[in-house]
Structure 1
Amino acid sequence: MSTARYLALIDLLRAQEFPAQRRRSATGFSGPGYHTAQLSAADELEDADAAQRLEMREQCVAEYEALLAVLGGKWGEPQVFSLWSVLERSILGDEIPAPWDELSAGFDLVHIWRADGRWVAVGLAGENEAPSYELLAVVTEVDPP
């Protein structure tokens, strides 16, 4: 998928109402106060050889960086929001609201912007030596914890 398609999808999610209950959507999951969109992902890269894994990872990182640059041009510099403490609080029993609870389970950090009363978060999981990766966008009215 191209950066233009990612932007179109994020704008579509920003314009949609949030459902009353959590449900699967064409792009990911939606629930009270949020939508998620899996922009790009590869699971089980261990079946690929080292060169293929490196190429796939580099492509995903390039897509991520391009998206961050375009969104930064649109809304300014993002906040870099570490999810480590959110995950730790969740493990210790604190109730973390969706979608931040799910994000903290799979992402170390996200870049976030506040746009028209909603948060837009973009994250990349598995960026280093992981055998898989995921590029995700979230649109939410739920403030980061």
Structure 2
Amino acid sequence: MNIARCLDTIDRLCSRPFPAEHGWSDVGRGGPGYFMAEMAEWAAADPDRGPGEPTADDVEAFREGIAQRLDERWGERPPWAMLTLRVRAERGEEIPEPWASISTLAYDLRIWEAAGTGRWVALGVAQGDETAPARLLAVVTEVDPE
């Protein structure tokens, strides 16, 4: 996937109706008030990987390329750490979707309010461990992250 196609997917998700039920769609998971789309996946860093195969750092750089374009559209915002949400959930506080799910997958997010849509857009890099592929996730939701 390239940056232009990722931006196109985000734009489509900002205008598409949300699913009535939790489940899967053509872009990934979704439910009432949100979509969580897997934008790209790359193999994890591996000593046996071939030359030129992307690493988690490459996924992060790709995210920042998309983020730069979204900063130009909607204004620059600092990364938002997910640790606070994970701690709040561990203490029994109910965290709404999609924030509950994405907080367990990514360490931080880049988040924007998509002007004129009533929706929020977030980008995060999910990587479970050294053997799991790094994944670039995009969240589009009407649920305020605050």
* TM bucket normalised to smaller: 0.7 to 0.9
1:56 alignment partner, one of 48, 54, 65: 54
Closer/same/farther in 2, CA of residues 114 and 50 from structure 1, 3 Å limit: same
Q: Tell me by how many angstroms 1:93 deviates.
A: 1.2
What CA distance in whole angstroms lies between the structure 1 residues aligned with 2:101 and 2:47? 30
TM-score, reference length from structure 2: 0.86
CA contact (8 A) 1:79 1:113 kept: no
User: Does 2:12 correspond to 1:12?
Assistant: yes
Per-residue deviation, 1:59? 3.1
Q: Which residue of 1 aligns with 2:104?
A: 105
1:133 aligned residue: 134
Letter in 2 for 1:16: R
Q: In the alignment, does 2:113 pair up with 1:114?
A: yes
Instruction: Give how far 1:137 is off.
Output: 0.5
Decide whether aligned partners of structure 1 residues 101 and 52 sit closer, same or farther in structure 2, where only a CA change above 3 A counts. farther
Q: 2:93 corresponds to which residue?
A: 94
**For 2:136, what is the secondary structure of its paired residue?**
strand
Seq. identity, %: 37
Q: Which runs of 4+ in 1 moved over 2 A?
A: 48-55, 129-132
1:78 and 2:51 are equivalent in the alignment: no
Distance apart, 1:118 and its partner CA:
0.8
- SS in structure 2 at match of 1:108: strand
Alpha-carbon contact 1:40-1:136 (below 8 Å) kept: yes
Aligned residue in 2 for 1:124: 125
Whichever structure has more helix as a proportion of its residues is 1
Q: Is the 8 A contact 2:42 2:59 kept in 1?
A: no
SS at match of 2:60: helix
Runs of 5+ consecutive residues of structure 1 not aligned to the other structure: none
1:25 corresponds to: 25
2:143 counterpart letter in structure 1: V
Cα deviation code 1:97-145 (max 9, x no counterpart): 0000001111111010011211000111239x83331101110000114
For residues 86 and 66 of structure 1, do their structure 2 counterparts lie closer, same or farther at Cα, with a shift above 3 Å needed?
same
Amino acid at match of 1:25: S
